[in-house]
Amino acid sequence: MIAFDNGTKSLLLSGKNYSYCMYINCAGLLQHLYWGKKIGAADAAFLVTAHGLPASPNPDDYNKDMATDGMPSECGSFGRGDFRPATVIVRREDGAAMSRFRYVSHKIVKGALHLQGMPCARKADETLILTLKDDFSDIELDLNYSVSEDSDVLVRSAVMRNAGKDAAEIAKAFSFCTELPDTRGTWSALRLAGSWARERTPVVTPLAEGTLRIESARGYSSHQMNPFLAVLSEDCGEESGECYGFNLLYSGSFAITADVSHNKSIRVQGGINDFLFGWQLQGGETFATPQAALCYSAEGLGGMSRAYHDFFREYIIDPKRVYARRPVVINNWEATYFDFDNEKLCSIIDEAAKLGMDTFVLDDGWFGKRDGDTSGLGDWFVNEEKLKGGLKAVIGHCKEKGLKFGLWFEPEMVSEDSELYRAHPDWAIGKAGVEPCRGRNQLVLDFTRKEVVDYIFETVSKILRENEISYVKWDKNRDITENYTANLPADRQGEFWHRYTLGFYGLAERLTKAFPNVFFEGCAGGGGRFDGGALYYFPQIWTSDDTDGLERTKIQWGTSVCYPVSAMSCHVSACPNHQTGRTTPFATRGAIASLGATGYELDLTKLSEEEKAQVREQIENYKLIDELVLRGDLYRLADPFDGNYFCEMLVSKDKSKAYLVGERFRGDPCDHDRVMKLFGLNESKTYTIRELNVTASGAALMGAGLFCPRLPDCGSWVWHIEEV
Ligand code: GLA
């Protein structure tokens, strides 16, 4: 619900459990008033009286004094007395960059906003479009806010329009700005940081005066820093206390900042990374920022996560795919790497069929000249020397055995040793005369260029058209360097990063539209592009190259802070684990992989009979609980970063069913009395736990809990909980 009160000039936006309030002050500046638990329309007047700033009602003060420096703003200005980081900066032809936007008009429209060429929330109840104008240029700015009754997520974005004739440069274009004014306690910030094979570790640091900035300058969202920040109140825990989430629905270089000012308010804002950013806007042109998903929770981090999970499932991920049963995949990468032939693949397919798997995914190495990572990328045609009879032979074998077929691509990349590069060396990102940086021996295609994207669209489409392919794994294995394109003039190189991302989105949009029956899985050297933008096209993303039965608990835990478990591809792989060298029980690897879109990635022909029996059982069990993976509410019970246990629980929306997976890392003799209190059940319902033969009320299971089983190193347990 969005309500405007003409008397106080206030705007009150309310979603499921929250309200967000601002008003247009006497100088026409958009002042933030409140974001927290839901309040009524009548409270907006109170907020204006009690929280409206500053004390002086003289509009002139805003022009001659520094009156905006302490003002909680919905759009930070530059060069006019607000010394905190600005939200949007316009540089005019004479070089002057002061920028301050004032209210012109607003409208409330039904539904969501569609951003051309970019991922965006697929629906909303209502959208507020607030139009402001720069004091010093012809740039108009729409601040967009979409709300929905059934969601705790507020969707924000900004659109700039050049209403004049002179060109102007947008030197900074963040998607949102908000302020958390009541923060005199000790607040902290949580980010999801990491690296390859260690994605999305939650890192919490106190906020203090100055600016905390998280960013990616790698050309994509990155393993190192997810485009997400949460600001936590002093008492925020897993299931209690207040927190605010900021998630950019964006896969490119980004920045999110939290600036604690001299009066202790926190300005949080974010969007496209503003480092060396610049976007030229000619008269009549518009520029849209990516959307940001903002979330308030009064139920701690767990409440915030569940709100984001619902949001991603209901608003972002393809509705056709999101709740549809996922195929149990067998992927050949860790089984064969580049070294395979028909015989090897068929032997894996035969076993996969016997074990009850659904889809065989042929990973890297099937195309061009590709027996290692130094060649072949860009040549998206089958290597018939390696695969006799081409893909058709392998697909035919899959069909015979009742399996569907999936295929790996890395569409944005090129190897120097490839036909594509030899024909079009200028299609790779780089600067003539400068030796390019290589990552995994490869270069990145210049996706700012339409002809490059068109070519890749055509070659990938040809393979998809000519073969029965139901699944595509879309990979991306390096960062962007050189950051230059000959495609743009010198004064527009600041557009490079974002244009690359638009090129990626453009290709993803075209391929997913052209092949609606193909399931697209995202991947980026593991989980390097696991973000809300990518989820719009890929219902599921390879979470990490690290499938170790212990490390994965951490990676999946951290990923779940924002993203639903159904979006995480989770595979059982061989031991000793290829990334860590650790050996964990087969049952544990299966249990951890069942907390997501499960699959296998190992040489099935090398499994013992006992392991094969376990695989069969794991798949049968998974098919009993996959509904909870797709639709359930996640409760995180034991933090793997903080102690000897990992435990998570999925609960059906009607609270009639739950599934719990736990792991004990070390068989520590003095750590066997751990009580696990369950969460999310209905206190007054009675439940049984199949594995324990226990019957108890939800109140008892949540209040008293149960002892964790005594287990050796990396032992795991699984409980199926059902209402009686
Ligand atoms: C990346 C992916 C892996 C695999 C390889 C293939 O590392 O994360 O799963 O597909 O590329 O080269």
545 CB near ligand 1 (under 6 Å): yes
Q: Separation of 517 CA from ligand 1 center, angstroms? A: 23
Q: pLDDT by residue (tens digit) across 5-53?
A: 999 999 999 999 999 999 999 899 999 999 999 999 889 999 998 887 6
- CATH assignment at residue 7: 2.70.98.60
For residue 56, the model assigns a pLDDT of 54
Tell me the sheet residues that pair with 648.
636, 661
Q: How many domains does the chain have?
A: 3
Asked if residue 334 and residue 282 are part of one domain, the reply reads: no
197 CB near ligand 1 (under 6 Å): no
Report pTM. 0.98
For residue 57, the model assigns a pLDDT of 64
Q: What CA–CA distance (Å, rounded) separates 661 from 625?
A: 12
For residue 55, the model assigns a pLDDT of 46
Q: Separation of 526 CA from ligand 1 center, angstroms? A: 7
Domain that holds residue 449: 329-542
Asked if residue 677 and residue 534 are part of one domain, the reply reads: no
Asked if residue 366 and residue 311 are part of one domain, the reply reads: no
Q: Separation of 545 CA from ligand 1 center, angstroms? A: 7
Q: pLDDT by residue (tens digit) across 117-158?
A: 999 999 999 999 999 999 999 999 999 999 999 999 999 999
In testing the pocket of ligand 1, which one of 475, 530, 572 has its CB within 8 Å of the most ligand atoms? 475
- CATH assignment at residue 392: 3.20.20.70
Q: pLDDT by residue (tens digit) across 49-84?
A: 888 765 456 777 777 777 888 889 999 999 999 999
Q: Separation of 453 CA from ligand 1 center, angstroms? A: 22
Asked if residue 177 and residue 46 are part of one domain, the reply reads: yes
For residue 185, the model assigns a pLDDT of 75
How many residues are given for the chain? 724
Collapsing DSSP to helix, strand or coil, 496 comes out as helix
- Angle of helix 342-355 relative to helix 609-631, nearest 10 degrees? 70
Asked if residue 152 and residue 32 are part of one domain, the reply reads: yes
* Closest ligand 1 atom to 526 CA: 8
For residue 359, pLDDT over 90 is answered with yes
Q: What is the mean pLDDT of residues 245-251?
A: 98
Percent helix, strand, coil in the chain, to 5, is 25, 30, 45
For residue 53, the model assigns a pLDDT of 67
Q: pLDDT by residue (tens digit) across 179-218?
A: 997 777 789 999 999 999 999 999 999 999 999 999 999 9
| Nearest-CA residue for atom 12 of ligand 1 | 364
Are 96 and 55 contacting, i.e. CB atoms less than 8 angstroms apart? no
Ramachandran angles phi, psi of 122, nearest 5°:
-75, -15
Q: Separation of 202 CA from ligand 1 center, angstroms? A: 24
Q: Which helix (H) or strand (E) is 129 found in, with range?
A: strand 126-134
601 CB near ligand 1 (under 6 Å): no
pLDDT band at 412, cuts 50/70/90? very high
363 CB near ligand 1 (under 6 Å): yes
For residue 668, the model assigns a pLDDT of 83
What distances in angstroms separate CA 298 from CA 218, 238, 253, 302, one per listed residue?
A: 34, 11, 31, 10
Q: pLDDT by residue (tens digit) across 516-544?
A: 999 999 999 999 999 999 999 999 999 99
Choose among 588, 507, 597: nearest CA to 550.
588
Of the listed 364, 545, 626, 633, which one is catalytic?
Answer: 545
| Nearest-CA residue for atom 2 of ligand 1 | 525
334 CB near ligand 1 (under 6 Å): no
Tell me the sheet residues that pair with 140.
133, 161
**Tokens 């540089």 — which residue?**
91
Percent of the chain past pLDDT 90, that is, above it, reads: 93
715 token code pair: 């032992």
In a domain, 604, yes or no: no
For residue 644, pLDDT over 90 is answered with yes
Asked if residue 297 and residue 194 are part of one domain, the reply reads: yes
**Residue 316: alpha-carbon gap to chain centroid:** 10
In a domain, 554, yes or no: no
Q: What CA–CA distance (Å, rounded) separates 96 from 541?
A: 44
Asked if residue 311 and residue 164 are part of one domain, the reply reads: yes
**Catalytic annotation on 545?**
yes
Of the listed 475, 479, 531, 546, which one is catalytic?
Answer: 475
> How many Cα atoms within 13 Å fall on the side-chain side of residue 387?
24
Collapsing DSSP to helix, strand or coil, 321 comes out as helix
**Residue 87: alpha-carbon gap to chain centroid:** 22
Residue 149: CB atoms within 10 A of its CB come to 11
106 token code pair: 């607003």
DSSP string across 333-376: HHHHTT---HHHHHHHHHHHHHHT--EEEE-SSSBSS-SSTTB-
- CATH assignment at residue 700: 2.60.40.1180
Q: Separation of 253 CA from ligand 1 center, angstroms? A: 22
333 CB near ligand 1 (under 6 Å): yes
In a domain, 653, yes or no: yes
Among 542, 559, 587, identify where a domain stops. 542
Asked if residue 423 and residue 373 are part of one domain, the reply reads: yes
Asked if residue 310 and residue 194 are part of one domain, the reply reads: yes
Q: What is the mean pLDDT of residues 491-506?
A: 98
Asked if residue 514 and residue 477 are part of one domain, the reply reads: yes
In a domain, 613, yes or no: no
In a domain, 608, yes or no: no
210 token code pair: 């100055």
DSSP state of 447: T
Q: What is the mean pLDDT of residues 239-267?
A: 96
Asked if residue 522 and residue 394 are part of one domain, the reply reads: yes
Q: What CA–CA distance (Å, rounded) separates 600 from 334?
A: 10
Q: pLDDT by residue (tens digit) across 570-594?
A: 999 999 999 999 999 999 999 999 9
Q: Separation of 207 CA from ligand 1 center, angstroms? A: 37
Q: What is the mean pLDDT of residues 230-243?
A: 96
In testing the pocket of ligand 1, which one of 477, 540, 542, 600 has its CB within 8 Å of the most ligand atoms? 477
563 CB near ligand 1 (under 6 Å): no
**Tokens 């780089």 — which residue?**
430
Q: What CA–CA distance (Å, rounded) separates 360 from 397?
A: 10
